[in-house]
Structure 1
Amino acid sequence: MRRRLVFSYSLLMILVLLALETPLAVTLANRETERIRADRLADANRFASLSGPALRTGAVSAITDELRRYHELYGIGAAVIDRERRPVVAPASPALDSEPTAAAIFGALAGRQMTVPEVLWPWQTGPLVVAVPVNDGGEVIGAVVTVSATSRVRRTVTVWWVALAAIGLLAVSAGVMTAFRLAGWVLRPVTVLDVVTHDIAAGDGKARVPTRQGPPELRRLATSFNEMADAVADALDRQRAFVAHASHQLRNPLTALRLRVEELGPSLTDSAGRDEHRLALEETDRLAQVLDGLLTLARTERARHTMVRVDAAAVAASRVAAWQPLANHRGITLTLAPTTGPAYAHAVRTAIDQVLDALVDNAIKFGHPGGRVEVSVHRLDGGVAVRVTDDGPGMTGAQLESSTERFWRAPDTQNIDGAGLGLTIVAVLVDASGGRLTMHPAAPTGLTAEAWFRAADV
């Protein structure tokens, strides 16, 4: 954005300078041309007054001497021609057959004072041709032509133009430097705001924007942003604190309730009472799982995470070994795809462990006897992907969109143990690690869940 602002300022300044200097440059060229043109016309008119007798009587000695001395003094060729365009006096033999000279002679014989070219531009190299008519009683009987070099005039115009270009370049340089400073002053609060926004999104809830930089409008914006960030941080802290405190405070009465319900078991004699007793114990265990999930989620969201370097392949091997007994008990084949060497990733401490625990637990829990669950670690897109694939019932597209919401459970899994917080915790941990979580149906059935983490340098 700073470059665009500086470019806009610079372009505007260049256009203004061009609008000012271009007419000035043209005026300078016209002024120098008019100066030499007036001088040559005065000389040509004097010679025209002396050329009338020569053209009428043929006495050309006087005008010949004048033109010769004129050429010797100033280096300017001059000639007198008659109405038939024949040179009558031409001591310096100027080139009378060139196109500019022919055009000037034609105009002079028509009774006009001619100057070719009308303006001397620096890039032109031709001479200045001036032609004036010789009149006798109102009749044009010939013309006087002068052909003079213009290198000195063009050099003068070039020097003026170079000076103008240098002044314009200095003005543009000063303007660009000023534009850089002005753009930096204006955009510095915006840059800081962008950095602070990313810091807050990354989990630094204490990051704030300085309020004493930039123009007043951006200072007010910084103040408003800080107030908004304070309000949001306070609301999030209150929410997390409430969840953590409520979950913690409910643990004790829930434990006491379970003990009391459990003690009622021996006093129940009929089968119906024992079944209700068993269901009551299961519900207390389910409520305990919900509270444990809420505590884990609250701690995960509130923590200031530290990134560590983790060998995802080694973690995957250890978690597969830990879950192998449960998989064998459920009749599910749990395998780890072979990997070539370590796969180091940047992640929150224990994030990969907890992610694999939740994903493998779900795959085993919702799988069927004889099913398969495969854990694999891949190097993907400049990072490390930890993937868990099963051949269970899977989820539909709509269910996948809602799967990471708190307490969400698929309609056909309501009778299976769980609190509906496992995938929520996985999503929070992956996001805190700067990774991404993707889930999609496996072929022909089942689900593939993949957690991607940034690669760490070996």
Structure 2
Amino acid sequence: MRRRLVISYLLLMVLVLLALETPLAATLATRETDRVRADRLADATRFASLANPALRGRGPGPLDVELDAYEGLYGIGAAVVDRDGRTVVTSPNWERGPAAASAVDIALAGQQFSGPESVWPWMNGPVVVAVPINDGGEVLGAVVTTTPAGKVRRTVAAWWLLLAAIGLLAVLACVSTAFGLAGWVLRPVTELDAVTHEIAEGDRTARVRPRLGPPELRRLAASFNNMADAVSDVMDRQRAFVAHASHQLRNPLTALRLRVEELGPSLTDADGRAEHRLALEETDRLATLLEALLTLARAERTENQRVIIDAAEVAAARVAAWQPLARHRSVTLRLEPADAPAYARTVPTAVDQTLDALIDNAVKFSGDGEVVTVTVRVADGGTVLQVRDTGPGMTASQLNQATERFWRAPDVQNVDGAGLGLTIVAVLVDASDGRLTMRQSTPRGLVAEVWFPAPEPLDVEPATTEAATTEPGLAEAGRA
């Protein structure tokens, strides 16, 4: 945008210079030509006053000497012709070219002639002046001079070069001023663009300095800061509400579950025990949902914090932690580790919670005898964690909705879960500048793949993780 503004200013400046300097250049060329023409007319008029004896046949008299001296001193050829156009007296090197012949014809008709009107640097012809010689109203002949235009062309060219130099200096000054002016005008826009990207990347404390640029842009910066403050405040209130509500509901929910459990021994009929079991399951489902909401609130609050994790070590710990549940559901859970440590730079607990959610989904939705494979590898300048299962998988439309909050596929509504697991994964991966991709496996099943960026070579040693002590189930599945 700055370049376009500078080009606009420069184009305007060039147009102004052309509008001013073009007529000035033409005026200078005409003025210099008029000065030469005036001098030659005066000289020709003087020679005409001396030419009467020569035209009346009494010899050239002093005119011959005058023309010789004139050409020797100024390099200007001159000649005197009679009324029939015959040359009477000439300077030594005078040549009668087409321009001189035309000028003589005009002068013999009784009119003065001088041409051209202006001498341009690219012209080659001489400056021709012709004056009639009169005696009592009778035209006896004419005096014609031919002045080489080289000196006039050089003078005009020098003036034009001076104008061009002045114009170039004006253009350079315009460019310098335009860059400064464009920078001053666009500095708030540039900073607004940078702050917008910072906020989009998760830094909600970034703000625009409101004292930059013209008043209109300063007001825009102030309005943007107010909007950012309002949005940040709303987000903080929303997350605080979710966290506080989830936390505060856990205590009465726990008390409610204990009271429902205490009712169990007093129930003797089969129907009562079935209702009692369903009530306990509903309280467990609500507890899972509250725990998932807390996890999501904590994940979305994580800003600008990065730790370095050995993803291969975390994956081994998480696979070991989920083995009991996998065996209980008759699912084979296996790990294909990387050949060397696979370091990833993420927000805290991102790798742990991501693997928990993906493994929980894969184990939960795979039937008896199915296989869930966790793979860790280094690729594309980062670390890739892949969880592949041989379960029913998802359709293309379901894959597009899988990370939406509380979304669950219609055919698995009776399976335990809160519909927040993949939402939490998406939030953590995005906060870590990573990528989450899910696709159908061949011949069946689902492949969930997460890429985390690798740390810089000079970064510190990997931070310790809580993978070995985190129990499965903190992040529930949001998959179909």
What TM bracket, shorter-length normalisation? Answer: 0.7 to 0.9
Q: 1:7 to 1:341 in 2, by over 3 A?
A: farther
CA shift in 2, pair 1:7/1:376, >3 Å: farther
Judge conservation of contact 1:313–1:343 (CA < 8 Å) in 2.
yes
| Contact 1:100/1:117, CA 8 A, preserved across alignment | no
Choose 245-254 or 110-119, whichever is displaced more. Answer: 110-119
Q: Is the 8 A contact 2:305 2:347 kept in 1?
A: yes
Instruction: Establish whether residue 386 from structure 1 lines up as the match of residue 413 from structure 2.
Output: no
- Aligned ranges 1:202-281 → 2 under 5 Å: 202-281=201-280
Contact 1:77 1:148 in 2 (8 A): yes
Shift of 1:29: 1.3
Q: CA deviation at 1:424?
A: 0.9
Aligned to 1:433: 432
* 274-283 or 80-89, which deviates more: 80-89
Is contact 1:101-1:116 (8 Å) kept? no
Name 1:63's counterpart in structure 2: 63
The 1:379–1:167 alpha-carbon spacing in structure 2 relative to 1, beyond 3 Å, is: farther
Matched, 1:453 2:452: yes
CA deviations 1:207-243 (Å, max 9, x no partner) are 3333333222222222222222222222222211111
| Equivalent position amino acid for 2:364 in 1 | K
Taking a change above 3 Å as real, the CA distance of residues 253 and 144 of structure 1, as seen in their structure-2 partners, is same
Partner of 1:358: 357
**In the TM superposition, what is the alpha-carbon distance from 1:369 to its structure 2 partner?**
2.9
Q: Which amino acid counterpart does residue 38 of structure 1 have in structure 2? A: A
Instruction: Using the TM superposition, give the Cα deviation of residue 294 of structure 1 relative to its aligned residue in structure 2, in angstroms.
Output: 0.5
Secondary structure of 2:356's aligned partner: helix
Match of residue 29 from structure 2: 29
Structure 2: distance between partners of 1:445 and 1:111: 111
Change (3 A) 1:74 1:267: same
Q: Give the CA deviation at 1:104.
A: 4.8
- Give 1:14-413 correspondences, 5 Å limit: 14-51=14-51, 54-55=54-55, 57=57, 59-81=59-81, 87-97=87-97, 101=100, 104=103, 113-124=112-123, 126-132=125-131, 143-337=142-336, 339=338, 341-377=340-376, 382-413=381-412
**SS of residue paired to 1:368:** coil
Cα separation, 1, equivalents of 2:370 and 2:282: 28
Distance 1:327 1:102, change over 3 A: farther
CA distance in structure 1 between the partners assigned to 2:137 and 2:396 by the alignment: 104
- The code of the aligned residue for 1:193 comes to L
What is the Cα deviation at residue 202 of structure 1?
Answer: 2.7
Distance 2:212 2:346 in 1: 35
Which deviates more from structure 2 when the two are superposed, residues 51-60 or residues 152-161?
A: 51-60
Aligned partners of 2:312 and 2:337 also within 8 Å:
no
- Which one is further off, 415-424 or 350-359? 350-359
Superposed displacement of residue 404, structure 1: 1.6
Structure 1 residues 385-438: Cα deviation after superposition (integer angstroms, max 9, x where no partner):
433333322223332232222211111111111111101111111121123333
Q: Which amino acid aligns with 1:394?
A: G
Change (3 A) 1:392 1:105: farther
Count how many residue pairs are aligned between Structure 1 and Structure 2.
Answer: 457
Contact 1:317 1:336 in 2 (8 A): yes
CA contact (8 A) 1:100 1:129 kept: yes
Identity %: 68
Q: Distance in 1 between matches of 2:351 and 2:397?
A: 26
Contact 1:344 1:457 in 2 (8 A): no
Q: How far has the Cα of 1:297 moved from its partner?
A: 0.8
- Measured after TM superposition, the shift of residue 88 of structure 1 is 4.0
Contact map agreement 2:107 2:131 (CA 8 A) in 1: yes
Report if aligned partners of 1:79, 1:93 keep a CA contact under 8 Å in 2. no
SS in structure 1 at match of 2:243: helix
1:281 shift after superposition: 1.9
Residues 302 and 347 of structure 2 are in contact (CA less than 8 Å); yes or no, is this contact kept in structure 1?
Answer: no
Separation of aligned partners in 2, 1:338 and 1:107: 107
Between 1:52-61 and 1:15-24, the stretch displaced more is 52-61
Q: Aligned equivalents of 1:266 and 1:358: distance in 2? A: 36
- AA paired with 1:348? V
2: distance between equivalents of 1:380 and 1:34? 82
Task: Report the Cα distance in structure 2 between the residues aligned to 1:26 and 1:84, rounded to whole angstroms.
Answer: 38
User: Which digits, 9 at most, give the CA deviation of each residue in 1:90-134, with x for residues without a partner?
Assistant: 33223434x655665566567664445432223445543334455
What is the aligned partner in structure 2 of residue 8 from structure 1?
8
The TM-score, its normalising length taken from structure 1, stands at 0.87
Counterpart Cα distance in 2 of 1:128 and 1:310 = 90
Structure 2 residue runs without a partner (length 5+): 458-480
Shift of the 378–64 alpha-carbon distance from structure 1 to 2, 3 Å rule, reads farther
Give the CA deviation at 1:30.
1.2
* Counterpart in the other structure of 2:470: none
Equivalent residues of 1:135, 1:141 under 8 A apart: yes
C-alpha change, 1:286 and 1:172, in structure 2 (3 Å) is same
Bigger CA drift: 298-307 or 135-144?
Answer: 135-144
Q: TM-score, normalised by structure 2?
A: 0.84
Q: Is the 8 A contact 2:246 2:291 kept in 1?
A: yes
Give the CA deviation at 1:12: 1.4
Describe the SS at the equivalent of 1:57.
Answer: coil
What amino acid is aligned across from residue 271 of structure 1 in structure 2?
A: A
- CA shift, 1:84, in A, is 7.4
The CA distance in 2 between the partners of 1:277 and 1:246, in whole Å, is 26
Give, in angstroms, the shift of residue 251 of structure 1: 1.0
Q: CA deviation at 1:384?
A: 4.2
- Alpha carbons 2:387, 2:447 under 8 Å: kept: yes
Counterpart in the other structure of 2:478? none
Which runs of no fewer than 5 residues in structure 1 stay unpaired?
Answer: none
